[in-house]
Structure 1
């Protein structure tokens, strides 16, 4: 798309929005909103004229006309509890209360002729989806209560679940991350590592493909990997849990409104103030005295428990500023955490084999974390047709972080996250159309730095199994290496327009334009790294004096500024028609198109020195190579932004009966994501801050280097800054690595198919479905080095000693390795799932959500790994079972109000063992083989199992108002004290391949008691 076309598109979008702003049209958010439509049957002499939905807690009113048949359509309402005012030619009637959930597409037919007689004055009941509204609502004058058919689902091929506010409040958890319950949806997992970092995973795709929408605004991280801003390496939460009303999790086949997502889409609605003042406060606490021993504190010998402390606290307040017209809501949540992590060698390598002077680096140590989260919101209802919302979030985090593994405490990182978001939204409602205008701002920065400076030393042991050779990482100690500052900052303008003037159709069109500046500063080896092969020197039991490799970073930009900035522009349009073809068949027909321009990638000019270094004259190894380096070299005009992101989204629902109790659903959708900026910026950043790499002759027993400018004899002077500067001057390229991005990079996408049936057997709902998801064109880094004959592996069938090794040491003269950025990662996932749901209600005070998912997933690269340096091309990797997806997974959660006034809730999850892959390098027959096997799991029966309980007691106190109460709560996490190990031997040549390789349980806590207290009114 030319710049003129882009300018025209933006002008068109702005003009459309401006016209809608000043036209008598409604405005509502599309993503995450509920809709309600149906038919009201009335006597011929007293037809229905219009219907008004009144949000009971705020007085918010929305009115739509009814056609001659009594059909009405509320195309977009925020989740909440409503009553319907049904205006007839003669008089007005009221319905019972009914609850609409976030993202729900509901149908409700009413028969006024069967409504009965005027009801006595009383308290309105509450009807939840799936329940028949009860009679007994307040009546005045000629008003009567209308009893209707049960709310029926009109959702199409979407697969997912709704997590209600009750589930968020009642289910046991240890981190107050509202996303922790997303795994109740088919194919979704919520995972934590030993540092407390959490992530969402959908099917066989990694976390960067996820997107979260809060109040209709994307929280996508354009730079880093975890899908949501602030979540890359953080024990924190993306949003205060007190501010979340409820949320919807979609694991496949979302509608055309959803963008920049190819796996899980999560849409959440925030709370608003009401016509009454309400508030709450809480404090959660646990420490080492309230938990069982971790496995590493038991095996191989008992040691004292490591100090642990987890304090979480917060408060919220909301209420009216002007009753029915203006409300406020605000909340704060904080975390103060001290948690243990273990430092130990990989693959159960005995610590006793490490010299005594290094053993103090092993053991258990503490990491700390601090988070402060704020959210505030004001909503204004100036007329019955308008809603204005202004909201903002601020997130601030800091801490000393490390993770269980080989990294000593001295290498810890000082983490910092700072995030600000703001949203101004105008919602305007007309008779037959709805419009939602949103202007949002974001500023998110992730900036880790080393906790200590100096040099870093890295020990590796060489292990041989027959002809196979592999390395085991033992210890990295000394200075830290993580130095980054990455983030995004900019504005987004969105407009969504809904038209309901055509009978049976709900037509939505919308567009979004975004101007966002992406920033990346990465200087990860400002502290030099020396790597040692401890078995390299014959006759020396443990070589800790002669490193085989030195890596360090150095600024090359004359200004000394290594930050990469890119002023990105994004634009997207969609159209969606939810078409009630008949009373039994609904079609969801959608199409969207997205475009993104990344100047840092598109306008990049490959430096002449880089071009010369890989030219045939200077690096003839590429003459016979299996790729053309010119496909990765650009003069600033060879790269075009991708314009083919057309994404059809099709779904259907067929209801077998008039009440909609039983239905079949299905759909197909294509969804494009985006290439992560952290990858794209690397060829630019390498020109400003380069990693230098030098190998030392004779110090590598696995892959010895051939003497060159970057393969030299070791000299102790290289341990000093002066010695490293000497190396920079001696080598032509100073040992700098190359990053080359392919000129025609593609955009990752997935194709999603679903088919299933739903049934409502009061009070439970059942669902069975199958899904198929293919993801393609995932970003990948490949090794561009080649041997002198152009080959990747040395292939000599007559050799009995040589084994295939990647050509890391065959670099351009004076330079480090060539790393190529390309596409080619792909996954396939076939799943069958069964879901049972029973919603809590006042008349039936218990709930249950249960999901079983069976998944067969395949991938052409180890799950979550982007660097693929073991084979020449990504096409050389065999497609094997996915390492990140369990075959069987069952999650069940529920709660019940007991007769003794205690609410009991529980969550249980169990999944089959994971799959691990490893390489076998063979000399005879010559070749590198990638193999895999299922891990040992816990008794070979399951890979992860956890049962949690929570007991909550509310004590009314009659202070402030009649709803004031004290809350006391006891959570017991991991009741059965399951040891869910996370590390398994990945050395395919080792007889212990697939067996547990450490006592780490990652983010899976041992049995832990958490105490909580709170107050609400």
Structure 2
């Protein structure tokens, strides 16, 4: 009783603090629950006030009870997604009971008509209702438990099924057995003409947003580790269901200007149950792609084991429940190192110095092991009829030895490690029209790519007909740690007789960022046959290519200095929203949220004195063309700061409005629409380089060819320089021959990226089939990009005149918030939830998207460095994207085949376009997005460049003592379609493919056990 009283007091304290703060509670409040709303009337349609509506969780018997308002309306809020028996009772009326399935982030409409009765009888079950949502103004797709368990996916990454939502693209799961896709590891998703960094994922209300890393290209990221992992962010067996929200999501969602995924985890019930699974693939179950076959590429060894189990049940019946799961992802793939004359190595005798390099000793197949362990545990406690407590823990650990093969030897491998831990404590309290949801979470994320073979200088060899052989260690060691402690509270109140459902919240997250970026820890020595004077460091003294003939390197690149940055950040947010139902047919969603971060950028950064003085000096009296370029492009008053010029942004107010209107009393036909403003954030990884480029600069030292006397920009080569000895390397840097440091300047008025989203659509329910058609639009702006102050176009309009700035610095880069995107699309979706009648059932859906994406201020969506020399040269142009895509899915019980289920996913698309022409600018014949890949027949003639059919068969054997054993056979890309990718800049109308967008046919064998 004391514990129960303490928890109740805790909820009241949180609510009181919220009220005293004068703000609504729980800014980070992501809807991981659902609700039931409706009306109770008599047989003549008159509202019944004071009727009791009770919802009982079928699995746990947890009960929620409310009374109807004067207009007969009721709302049961904060329901865990599950099946519920909902009963409506009123004295003198015949009670009714309906079993419904409440989905995540769903408002389930349920109304009762009670007939008069002289005797209060036991409630009569009148229907079994499935979850088909027509009244929401959001544009989203629910991924149900049935789809999670039955549809074929190439991995157990729960992101895979997000592709069922119109307009969403998911990075494929590559086995990487072909020669064309080696090293592809990111598992991300994106939507609406924006990159994968503009998404967010919420699991049980906790954000998995990656604040730190997106890679220096800036195009990856979004969630913890998915920018650089072939693994899964969360155990799929622990995810009950999720919803993909792509448009017009409410004010409770933050840190995303693109789509969000909202997921809820499984919980234990009053019956102990569980399952186990094992899936297997090897190289004999994977076909060889056509590009590899054409090059006589030998298929390397490969095995993948996916295994796991879950179990849940009561620790105290009706009160305390446990659920736990484990998943292991174990992969071994061989990567072939093959540096031979056949693959591009010059013939013996062509360059005698090359004949002394032991390439042959480095060749062969080497194993790339990947290991991932996912653990999840959860306790649910029903304190009483008005409050619940939940505690969960998730841990992810993975290692991956990779990034070698082809012309990169095994010494070049990195050991990529990732660890993520999340702990969540939730307390819910409900009484009458009030619901309070308090949440505490702790998250720890670490990404640590390190050297698998350390302390070997790296040698890079560029051959005349192939590029490029790499011997020695990998170059860099990095360590990113993000820790987040978050406090959040949400309050929901049903007011005005159910006409208004008000929800508000505040949250505060305290974060620490610990970053170590020891880039170029290993020196990289470059070898070529003939070297241009600008690359050899001897221009203008040299007049033609220098004949190094691989006898000595022409340059070395190395960095040293302090690679560490440690800092803190505080994220605060608040929101208020109202779901207003002025009439039973019309719902208006009004909301506004506000967000603030104390350290998204280096607001207290001080521009170093030597940077200020040097640029000012040569602005006043330019000496070189580079000086003049910097003077003409860079307004130093907008970039130099003494630590006070950068103002923190307090103006992230984001209004959001939506509506839905039912054209009929049964809400079978609904018109919906909305508009909203959404702020995102920029990776701190980009911001810290403003400091690290100066505190740990990267240097280049040029060496003269063996037959020439060093010029003023060169050193004479000595074999002792080929080392990782920092004393020797530092002597090269201090010789006066090294290039200067790179300077990154972030604008003092740097902005936060944001998007405006709008849509209008219609839904119609044909029986149990829901059809919707929606126009969606997204406009994003203020994307961060870097510009080169000391670069310019060549006189013929091609890119680029590149000149070392000099004066102790190599390049001057400065930011602008000039990247913009446009997205307009028609989205059509048809869905029928799986429904079983007798011994047979089926369900399925189709989504179709036809859209146009454009961007300006950048050459590629999300790439902060695709603006060479500056963003002003990139007007609005088509993006390299796919115009149309269709995705179909189905699950069906095979007639007359007891225990056999057949499911599949079909994906067809027009393929991503590529840029046509070289030089990146119109003056050179460059046409952005000007190449459309060849289209091939599939269902329709000549309609698609991308085609994939994934199939799955499952056979369940007769149950024994309440247990079920099943075997599965899944075939991915069953018809072995070639889905080609093409080079970025294409100069031929019929180019050769450069790679693949999907693996060839893959088969997976599996077994599943349920009890």
TM-score range, shorter chain: 0.7 to 0.9
Aligned residue runs from structure 1 range 566-965, under 5 A: 566-598=567-599, 601-617=602-618, 620=622, 621=627, 624-695=631-702, 718-720=721-723, 721=725, 723-731=728-736, 735-786=740-791, 792-793=792-793, 795=795, 804-843=798-837, 845-860=841-856, 861-864=858-861, 866-868=863-865, 871-883=868-880, 885-899=881-895, 900=897, 901-917=899-915, 920-921=918-919, 929=926, 931-937=928-934, 939=936, 942-959=944-961, 962=962, 964-965=963-964
Tell me, yes or no, if structure 1 residue 190 matches structure 2 residue 190.
Answer: no
Instruction: Provide the C-alpha distance between the structure 2 equivalents of 1:273 and 1:728, rounded to a whole number of angstroms.
Output: 63
Q: How far is 1:689 from its partner?
A: 2.1
Alignment correspondent of 1:126: none
Alignment correspondent of 2:36: 36
The 3-state SS of whatever aligns with 1:382 is strand
Instruction: Provide the C-alpha distance between the structure 2 equivalents of 1:176 and 1:158, rounded to a whole number of angstroms.
Output: 27
Instruction: Provide the C-alpha distance between the structure 2 equivalents of 1:148 and 1:1016, rounded to a whole number of angstroms.
Output: 25
Residues 324, 847 of structure 1: alpha-carbon distance in 2 compared, 3 angstrom cutoff: same
Instruction: Provide the C-alpha distance between the structure 2 equivalents of 1:779 and 1:26, rounded to a whole number of angstroms.
Output: 29
- Listed one character per residue, the Cα deviations across residues 678-697 of structure 1 (whole Å, up to 9, x for unaligned) are 11111122243222234557
- Listed one character per residue, the Cα deviations across residues 837-863 of structure 1 (whole Å, up to 9, x for unaligned) are 000123261110210101111123333
Alignment correspondent of 1:565: 566
Alignment correspondent of 1:145: 125
Residues 411, 151 of structure 1: alpha-carbon distance in 2 compared, 3 angstrom cutoff: closer
Instruction: Provide the C-alpha distance between the structure 2 equivalents of 1:45 and 1:529, rounded to a whole number of angstroms.
Output: 79
Does the 8 Å CA contact 1:553/1:690 hold for their aligned counterparts?
yes
Q: How far is 1:433 from its partner?
A: 1.2
The 3-state SS of whatever aligns with 2:525 is strand
1:69 to 68, 71, 89: 71
Does the 8 Å CA contact 1:17/1:495 hold for their aligned counterparts?
no
Does the 8 Å CA contact 1:27/1:437 hold for their aligned counterparts?
no
Instruction: Provide the C-alpha distance between the structure 2 equivalents of 1:696 and 1:151, rounded to a whole number of angstroms.
Output: 70
The 3-state SS of whatever aligns with 1:198 is coil
Residues 926, 171 of structure 1: alpha-carbon distance in 2 compared, 3 angstrom cutoff: closer
Tell me, yes or no, if structure 1 residue 484 matches structure 2 residue 483.
Answer: no
2:159 to 179, 183, 208: 179
Alignment correspondent of 2:535: none
Q: How far is 1:941 from its partner?
A: 5.2
Does the 8 Å CA contact 1:36/1:108 hold for their aligned counterparts?
yes
Instruction: Provide the C-alpha distance between the structure 2 equivalents of 1:26 and 1:754, rounded to a whole number of angstroms.
Output: 27
Instruction: Provide the C-alpha distance between the structure 1 equivalents of 2:264 and 2:132, rounded to a whole number of angstroms.
Output: 22
Alignment correspondent of 2:996: 1001
The 3-state SS of whatever aligns with 2:61 is coil
Alignment correspondent of 1:242: 237
Q: How far is 1:906 from its partner?
A: 0.5
Instruction: Provide the C-alpha distance between the structure 2 equivalents of 1:873 and 1:603, rounded to a whole number of angstroms.
Output: 26
Cα RMSD (Å) of the superposition? 3.4
The 3-state SS of whatever aligns with 2:115 is helix
Instruction: Provide the C-alpha distance between the structure 2 equivalents of 1:26 and 1:421, rounded to a whole number of angstroms.
Output: 19
- Listed one character per residue, the Cα deviations across residues 764-793 of structure 1 (whole Å, up to 9, x for unaligned) are 11011111111111122222325xxxxx24
- Listed one character per residue, the Cα deviations across residues 923-978 of structure 1 (whole Å, up to 9, x for unaligned) are 9x97695644325356585332211111111223423xx2x111211111110112
Does the 8 Å CA contact 1:406/1:474 hold for their aligned counterparts?
yes
Instruction: Provide the C-alpha distance between the structure 1 equivalents of 2:917 and 2:338, rounded to a whole number of angstroms.
Output: 23
Residues 104, 585 of structure 1: alpha-carbon distance in 2 compared, 3 angstrom cutoff: same
Residues 13, 426 of structure 1: alpha-carbon distance in 2 compared, 3 angstrom cutoff: closer
Deviates more, 1:487-496 or 1:720-729: 720-729
Q: How far is 1:460 from its partner?
A: 4.5
Aligned residue runs from structure 1 range 402-441, under 5 A: 402=403, 407-441=408-442
Residues 428, 607 of structure 1: alpha-carbon distance in 2 compared, 3 angstrom cutoff: same
Q: How far is 1:104 from its partner?
A: 1.2
Residues 57, 409 of structure 1: alpha-carbon distance in 2 compared, 3 angstrom cutoff: same
Does the 8 Å CA contact 2:587/2:660 hold for their aligned counterparts?
yes
Alignment correspondent of 2:206: 217
Q: How far is 1:204 from its partner?
A: 1.2
Q: How far is 1:511 from its partner?
A: 1.2
TM-score (norm 1): 0.86
Q: How far is 1:879 from its partner?
A: 2.5
Does the 8 Å CA contact 1:450/1:482 hold for their aligned counterparts?
yes
Residues 117, 670 of structure 1: alpha-carbon distance in 2 compared, 3 angstrom cutoff: farther
The 3-state SS of whatever aligns with 1:166 is helix
Does the 8 Å CA contact 2:87/2:123 hold for their aligned counterparts?
no
The 3-state SS of whatever aligns with 2:740 is coil
Q: How far is 1:888 from its partner?
A: 1.0
- Listed one character per residue, the Cα deviations across residues 273-308 of structure 1 (whole Å, up to 9, x for unaligned) are 00100011111111012222233541122x542101
Instruction: Provide the C-alpha distance between the structure 1 equivalents of 2:80 and 2:862, rounded to a whole number of angstroms.
Output: 39
Alignment correspondent of 1:966: 965
TM-score (norm 2): 0.86
Instruction: Provide the C-alpha distance between the structure 2 equivalents of 1:100 and 1:551, rounded to a whole number of angstroms.
Output: 59
Instruction: Provide the C-alpha distance between the structure 2 equivalents of 1:991 and 1:981, rounded to a whole number of angstroms.
Output: 16
The 3-state SS of whatever aligns with 1:806 is strand
Aligned residue runs from structure 1 range 182-331, under 5 A: 182-192=162-172, 194=176, 195-225=184-214, 226-301=221-296, 303-331=297-325
Instruction: Provide the C-alpha distance between the structure 2 equivalents of 1:833 and 1:368, rounded to a whole number of angstroms.
Output: 41
Structure 2: runs of 5+ lacking an equivalent: 1-11, 177-183, 215-220, 533-543, 937-941
Does the 8 Å CA contact 1:491/1:514 hold for their aligned counterparts?
yes
How many pairs does the alignment contain? 937
Does the 8 Å CA contact 2:193/2:861 hold for their aligned counterparts?
no
Alignment correspondent of 1:106: 108
Instruction: Provide the C-alpha distance between the structure 1 equivalents of 2:403 and 2:920, rounded to a whole number of angstroms.
Output: 36
The 3-state SS of whatever aligns with 1:686 is helix
